[in-house]
Amino acid sequence: MMLTRLARKSLARVTPYTPGKPIEEVQRELGLPSAMKLASNENPLGPSPKALEAIRQALPSLHRYPDSHCFYLVRKLARHMGLVPEQFIVGNGSDEIITLAVRALIEPGDEVVIAHPTFVIYQIASQIAEAKIRTVPLRDFRYDLAGMRRAVTRRTRLVFIANPDNPTGTYVTRAEVEAFMGGLPPHVVVFFDEAYAEVADVPDYPDSRAFLGRHPVIITRTFSKAYGLAGIRVGYGMAPTDLIEAMHRVREPFNVNSLAQVAAAAALEDTEHLEATRRLLREQKRVLVQALEQIGFACIPSATNFILFRVGPKASETVQALLKRGIIVRHMQGWDLPDYVRVTIGLPQENQAFIQALNQIRREAS
């Protein structure tokens, strides 16, 4: 769509976000009786039953405004994370915390350090705020923290670190993060986006909370991935209280709806559901990686609930062929990885169907 000339000049430079297509739209477009979505890194087990029950119980109170400060959820999060409530802010998804941080911290012309490719909202939020973006390419599909450290200048206000990263699924280790943080000047806020932390099944994953007393950091987590609540939109940020206060000043008063608040609080207590999710991912990641590599597609080692793999020059065709069979995955063209595809780990039967379809497509093409 055309952008009105009445818009702020900087909006012409904003790269619009392209979301994955909803299942219903794909079905409608292709006239398919059913489809499966393995494209947006959602939890294939669905929401926790405890969250669903909490939502049902909250429905009769929908005529009331939600609690502006998410009082109960924040207290539960504080206990869960071993911090104090004043170190938390809740958002309409962790996406919102990214935009709040940028809105609170960036003056036009301030510098922001962002890896490339990575989660695109960092760039979009920074472009809207008229930041100067310093881009640091990944190395071997991993964040180059030494390179990002070198990109820091006197004007740097924010550095984004997705850990684990999307779309690669790779992560940075405790030692790498420690080295990056060492001697970092205090005018640089480090934003640790930990959307996949709960499923990062790796031994040397850093506990970024350790930096909270030492350096201005913002750490975000979400209920959209491991907790299976992407549709209700709830995520949170942890930071020193002065940074939290800055973000509160730029947020809308009722940014988190009341169903999201009770669902998140209930999901946090459902350790059984979280464990089942982790078990499923561990098993199915092994199955998927093995099957993809058998076909001849190299997989990037993943610490997340999705796998980035190399199809080659036929990546786009392959994604289209999968789509015709009702299987939605993500082609990585928009991330400057035209030979790559990202698949979200689904239920065992979904993963089987995906692998079967891939094999069929390969046979038909040869």
Stretch that binds ligand PLP, among 6-14, 68-76, 87-95, 268-276 (CB under 6 A): 87-95
Residue 195 binds ligand PLP (CB under 6 A): yes
Q: Choose between 152 and 200: whose C-beta lies nearer to ligand PLP.
A: 200
Residue 224 binds ligand PLP (CB under 6 A): yes
Sketch the per residue contact string, 40 through 69, with ligand PLP: x for CB under 6 A, - otherwise: -x----------------------------
Q: Choose between 137 and 312: whose C-beta lies nearer to ligand PLP.
A: 137
Q: Choose between 162 and 243: whose C-beta lies nearer to ligand PLP.
A: 162
| Residues 260, 296: Cα–Cα separation, whole Å | 42
Q: How far is the CB of 123 from ligand PLP (least distance, A)?
A: 13
10 Å CB burial of residue 9 (0-12, 13-18, 19+) is exposed
Amino acid at 4: T
Q: Choose between 190 and 195: whose C-beta lies nearer to ligand PLP.
A: 195
10 Å CB burial of residue 169 (0-12, 13-18, 19+) is buried
Stretch that binds ligand PLP, among 10-18, 93-101, 178-186, 274-282 (CB under 6 A): 93-101
| Residues 364, 12: Cα–Cα separation, whole Å | 43
Residue 235 binds ligand PLP (CB under 6 A): yes
Sketch the per residue contact string, 118 through 157, with ligand PLP: x for CB under 6 A, - otherwise: -x--------------------------------------
Q: Which of 162, 244, 288, 292 binds ligand PLP (CB under 6 A)?
A: 162
Q: Choose between 165 and 176: whose C-beta lies nearer to ligand PLP.
A: 165
Number of residues that bind ligand PLP (CB under 6 A): 13
Amino acid at 296: G
| Residues 209, 163: Cα–Cα separation, whole Å | 13
| SS3 assignment, position 363 | helix
Q: Which of 222, 255, 305, 351 binds ligand PLP (CB under 6 A)?
A: 222
Strands 111-116 and 156-162: parallel
Q: Choose between 32 and 45: whose C-beta lies nearer to ligand PLP.
A: 45
Count of CB atoms situated within 10 Å of the CB of 90: 24
| Residues 274, 302: Cα–Cα separation, whole Å | 19
- Taking the CA atoms of 105, 108, 114 and 118 in sequence, report the sign of the dihedral they define: positive
Q: Choose between 224 and 318: whose C-beta lies nearer to ligand PLP.
A: 224
Q: What is the 3-state secondary structure (H, E, C) of 258-307?
A: HHHHHHHHHHHHCHHHHHHHHHHHHHHHHHHHHHHHHHCCEECCCCCCEE
**Positions that interact with ligand PLP (CB under 6 A):** 41, 93-95, 119, 162, 166, 193, 195, 222, 224, 230, 235
